[in-house]
Structure 1
Amino acid sequence: MSDEITFKRAVPIIPVRDLDAALARYRRLGFTAEAWDGPQRYGFVDRGDVSLHLTEWDEHDPARTAASVYLYVSDADGLHAEWTEAVGPLDPPRDTPWGLREFAYVDPDGTLHRVGSPLKS
């Protein structure tokens, strides 16, 4: 094989029960959000270089089919304050042994959003 294949990016596809509610929730979290103009209930949310796709799925059961994403950000404490204002109280960020400041948010569809930024030296 003469040419090496380069991966460009990965975009998780997250199941949701109600696409409109999920798009509104991501807007409150500071993402741009829009529904796909097609026959399936599908949406796109973006913030900075991060993209997530949402798919409305009638059989989605957060106890069995939830997703998780890890978001690397520049300031976990700042984003924690922003998201707490948007969705209500969240457990506070904490320093980890692996060198990140992290917090977590589980949305109403059961998706775990783990968020981390590098610890300041």
Structure 2
Amino acid sequence: MAAFESVAPIIPVSDLEAALARYRSLGFTTRSYDGSEPYGFVDRDNVSLHLTESPGHDPLTTASMVYLYVSDADAVHTEWSGAEGRLSPPRDTPWGLREFAYVDPDGTLHRVGSPLR
């Protein structure tokens, strides 16, 4: 049986260059696709996300969500504290994670969590 090795969610954005700059400010490395389509790649450690520019993207009706497991949610929250968008405070959950939420200007919800220590 074949093994699944990784996943890269594809996130719609209204402005690819602005989104790539935002992810760079969040500590990701970024690059644009060299083809004719406005498409980009963002990576940080073992996490990869793909971005696709979608002219009809409306954050109120086409929201996306990703869950990012990290080693230290509080440290990432501190790093992201100046990011454009909405950032909730970290909290301990009943399911054993310390987590917070970040909603970017394109409406993508990034839930970020690490195991409680």
TM-score class, shorter-chain normalisation, is over 0.9
Q: Which runs of 5+ in 2 are unaligned?
A: none
Can you list the C-alpha shifts for 1:2-35, whole angstroms capped at 9, x where unaligned?
Answer: xx12111111000000000000000000000111
TM-score (norm 2): 0.96
Deviations 1:53-96 (A, max 9, x none): 00000111111111000000000000000000344772210000
Identify the structure with the greater helix proportion.
1
Of stretches 84-93 and 73-82 in structure 1, the one that deviates more from structure 2 is: 84-93
Percent of aligned positions with the same letter in both sequences? Answer: 70
Q: Counterpart of 1:37 in structure 2: which amino acid? A: D
Out of 76, 79, 84, the position equivalent to 2:76 is 79
| TM-score, scaled relative to structure 1 | 0.93
1:21 paired residue number: 18
* Structure 1 runs of 4+ with >6 Å offset: none
Q: 1:9 aligns with which of 3, 6, 9?
A: 6
1:45 alignment partner AA: V
Counterpart residue number, 1:106: 103
Higher gyration radius (CA) = 1
> How many residues are aligned here?
117
Q: Which stretch shows the higher mean deviation, 20-29 or 81-90?
A: 81-90
